[in-house]
Amino acid sequence: MNPSSLAVRCQNVIKVYDTGGQKVTALNGVNLDIAMGELMMLVGPSGCGKTTLISVIAGILDQDSGYCEVFGEDLLNMSNQRKLAFRARNIGFVFQAFNLLPALSAAENVSVPLIINGMKRSDAERKAITVLEQVGLGERVTALSSELSGGQQQRVAIARALVHSPKLIVCDEPTSSLDHETGRNVMTLLKEVALHKDRALVIVTHDARIFEFADRIAEMDDGHIVEVKENYSAVRKIEHG
């Protein structure tokens, strides 16, 4: 792959958690390239390192060794201040546990990335409401996030990851709390975003119903990428007629 068309490049990424003297190797030499304009899904058994890998890619967690580059930038060797600014501008993250601020409304939660990037509060809330409408939550913009159902909170988290038009969107199980139709609507929205040629999406999922949205699917096991399948939905159609 031409390096200038790469959104993410991971080379031999290793991460060992050390809790109370017990070491767990979560990433054991990950190699993965993600192209601009690509929607890459990441699948694999619980505990294989998926959340750890996307946390390293998004600059939330530092790897112990190996190289990880996002849009040509090595986040590990950036100053904290530059890294925070880079993340705020370029990365949207949907956490598995949503991580919304419970005392803020849906619209206020979604405004946060815009305000961090310097937008005026009133403009930020107006923009937040348009994205909440896109995820089907136009009726709930003033509700506190603690008053929302799990599926609604998940959509607020997705809106918050999209609102500032980041170049890289990273999602941990973004459809786990959604019914089939809402899940497909959210994936259609995410896929539209990925179609921009200078952006990319990485989506961790167990949800076979959404595999067809992937450009490629990386299978992980035991801290490694074991296989990357190209054009998965096409391959599946051939396999299953």
**Where on the chain is the footprint of ligand ADP (CB under 6 A)?**
17, 19, 24, 26, 44, 46-52
Q: How far is the CB of 219 from ligand ADP (least distance, A)?
A: 12
- Which one, 19 or 80, has the nearer CB to ligand ADP? 19
Please report whether residue 63 would count as binding Mg ion according to CB under 5 A. Answer: no
- Which one, 36 or 91, has the nearer CB to Mg ion? 91
Task: Compute the distance between CA of residue 144 and CA of residue 158 in angstroms, rounded to an integer.
Answer: 16
- Which one, 71 or 95, has the nearer CB to ligand ADP? 95
Beta bridge partners of 94: 171
Which of Mg ion, ligand ADP, none does residue 63 bind (CB under 5 to 8 Å by kind)?
Answer: none
Angle at 172 between CA 170 and CA 175, to 5 degrees: 110
Residue type, 76: L
Other beta carbons less than 10 A from residue 67's beta carbon: 14
* Sign of the Cα pseudo-torsion (108, 110, 116, 120, in order): negative
- Which one, 95 or 232, has the nearer CB to Mg ion? 95
Q: How far is the CB of 3 from ligand ADP (least distance, A)?
A: 27
Q: How far is the CB of 38 from ligand ADP (least distance, A)?
A: 21
- Which one, 53 or 112, has the nearer CB to Mg ion? 53
Q: How far is the CB of 98 from Mg ion (least distance, A)?
A: 14
Options 49-57, 127-135, 138-146, 207-215: segment touching Mg ion (CB under 5 A): 49-57
Long-range CB pairs of 81-88 (<8 Å, 24+ gap) are 83/59, 86/59, 87/58, 87/59, 87/60, 88/113, 88/116, 88/117, 88/164
Task: Compute the distance between CA of residue 124 and CA of residue 107 in angstroms, rounded to an integer.
Answer: 9
Task: Compute the distance between CA of residue 226 and CA of residue 207 in angstroms, rounded to an integer.
Answer: 19
- Which one, 42 or 186, has the nearer CB to ligand ADP? 42
Q: Which two tokens stand for residue 152?
A: 């609604």
Which of Mg ion, ligand ADP, none does residue 24 bind (CB under 5 to 8 Å by kind)?
Answer: ligand ADP
Please report whether residue 205 would count as binding Mg ion according to CB under 5 A. Answer: no
Cα 222 to chain centroid, rounded: 21
Which of ligand ADP, Mg ion, none does residue 49 bind (CB under 5 to 8 Å by kind)?
Answer: ligand ADP
Helix (H, G, I), strand (E, B) or coil at 23: strand
Which of ligand ADP, Mg ion, none does residue 122 bind (CB under 5 to 8 Å by kind)?
Answer: none
Please report whether residue 51 would count as binding Mg ion according to CB under 5 A. Answer: yes
Which of ligand ADP, Mg ion, none does residue 155 bind (CB under 5 to 8 Å by kind)?
Answer: none
Task: Compute the distance between CA of residue 53 and CA of residue 139 in angstroms, rounded to an integer.
Answer: 35
Using CB under 5 A, list all residues that contact Mg ion. Answer: 51
